[in-house]
Amino acid sequence: MYWGMGSLLVLVGLGLLVFWIHHNSSSALSQSTGISGDVLSGTVFINGTASIAKTDDDYICATLDWWPPEKCDYNTCSWGRATLLTLDLTNTILINAVKAFSPLRIRMGGTLQDKVVYEKQGDQSTCNIFTKNSSEFLGFSQGCLPLARWDELNSFFKQTGSAVTFGLNALYGRTIGSDGSVNGPWNSSNAESLIRYTVNKGYSILGWELGNELSGNGVGARVSAHQYASDMTTLQHLVEDIYAGFEIKPLVLAPGGFFVADWFADFVNQTSKTLQVVTHHIYNLGPGVDDHLIQKILNPSYLDGELQIFSSLQSLLKNSGTSAVAWVGEAGGAYNSGHNLVTNTFVFSFWYLDQLGMAATYNTKTYCRQTLIGGNYGLLNTQNFLPNPDYYSALLWHKLMGSKVLLTSFSGTDKIRAYAHCSKNSPGVTLLLINLDGNTTVQVHVSTENATSNGTLTLKQESQNHRTKFARMSRGSSNDGNIREEYHLTAKEGNIQSQVLLLNGKVLNTDSSGNIPSFDPINVSHSDPITVAPFSVVFAQIPNMNVTACK
């Protein structure tokens, strides 16, 4: 009798222990994924027979701009000392943030690049900074890049392993007509002096880009496609001459403007033998002052509006016979420095990651985010250098998404955005899922063609409670290796305008030494659907999805 009572007590105790573990695991899962509201199912189909596009291995790029502290929009001055001329290049967080990409592509340029002159060795004239002047073109005086600052910047780039593209002044030596038209050829002498100095100092440059937003209708000024093509020939000859004898020469890029089909077609057709990269800019959300930015970001139909630009540029390059490839040279989403507490918060990762996925699908090789730091759309906070949510989103993409892009579609709700690539530096496929719905959790089943020797692999939901299984798997079970790794991104306290990002329920923060945190995934049974919580992002790395395209 005593033995029986003892056994009963043991069983009751075990039962309570199991209940406690289950309860706490379920609570932790709920907190980490934000599961709440309605639940529905959907299916993502990944065609793994062949890749449909390919990015560069270093697809992620960020910009550094010339805007001085006096640059203000809508009575708000958001640039601080983040300008190329004054940025603190010794800041530990900045250094570590760039190093984490190994390498990060950096595009140096922006609106004022066409008003920058470059100091020459031995030149005794004063190298003036930009000053605000409403009567001047673009509202600022001419500015100057001191060679000492160019040395500091290149030291920083070398220290952080950055791959740099520099935007050259395409208006040097030119006059602008009253209607904004620019006549006459580009005077390349000042650019030549900078490029020669750069080579003599042994500085590594990935590419030289000519002009900023002077194509098509231009922004303040415009250059005809015919003249721009002639100027590009001048730059190409300059690069070939200065880098003669170099096994690898820098890329030549242009025009760094907004896509206008007829202008771009004329330009590409006239530069088919010289141009290597066609760069275009994206600010599809409109002005930063717009109070409806969040509604636009969460509207799948609005996001799809950019598809036509990517598709048209892809077709143009394919049909022109050029070997040039497409880059997004600058993309801040909302122009005029973005919008505080929107473009520097979690909600902007929905737009940004969707843009990265969409652009890659149309064979875009590199995507440069405006900005690395500066304005209200920086990957890093302009004042304290701490990473904003989009920094971590960009770094996760960089670490997980390989260069081969797979055809992906989703059925079940238009609020789920789905993209898949071959995994980076590991076998299998990485899937990106973005839930634009703030009330609905989506259980995503994955169907992949040619994923196994049997030809088709379909992941189906088990009848067992998914939350319990997910929680148990997250405690470290490998399920005989039949697992996937998941990275769930949510906002602190569910506030999509928060600047604090959670990875699997834990706050991502730099430590006291300014080190970027590691990304620890949750292990999940491969047979379970992927739980995508309301207003969340999930990267799912599926190692045993052996599709033909990724072999």
CA distances 364 to 309, 314, 318, 325, Å, are 11, 8, 12, 7
Rounded CA gap, 438 and 487, in Å?
19
> CA angle, corner 57, sides to 82 and 414, nearest 5?
85
- Beta pairing partners, 542: 429
CB 461: neighbour CB atoms within 10 A? 13
Unique residue bearing structure tokens 């930015």 = 293
Unique residue bearing structure tokens 């995507």 = 367
Which entry of 119, 192, 209, 213 is annotated as an active-site residue? 213
Which entry of 119, 192, 306, 330 is annotated as an active-site residue? 330
Q: Is 192 assigned a catalytic role? A: no
Q: Is 213 assigned a catalytic role? A: yes
Nearest to 196 by CA among 116, 274, 121: 121
Do residues 353 and 393 make contact, with C-beta atoms less than 8 angstroms apart?
A: yes
In the chain, what's the furthest Cα-to-Cα distance?
Answer: 105
Run of H or E including 449: strand 440-449
CA distances 257 to 215, 229, 254, 450, 508, Å, are 5, 14, 8, 41, 35
Rounded CA gap, 343 and 374, in Å?
12
Bridge pairing between strands 325-331 and 440-449: unpaired
The catalytic residues are 213, 330
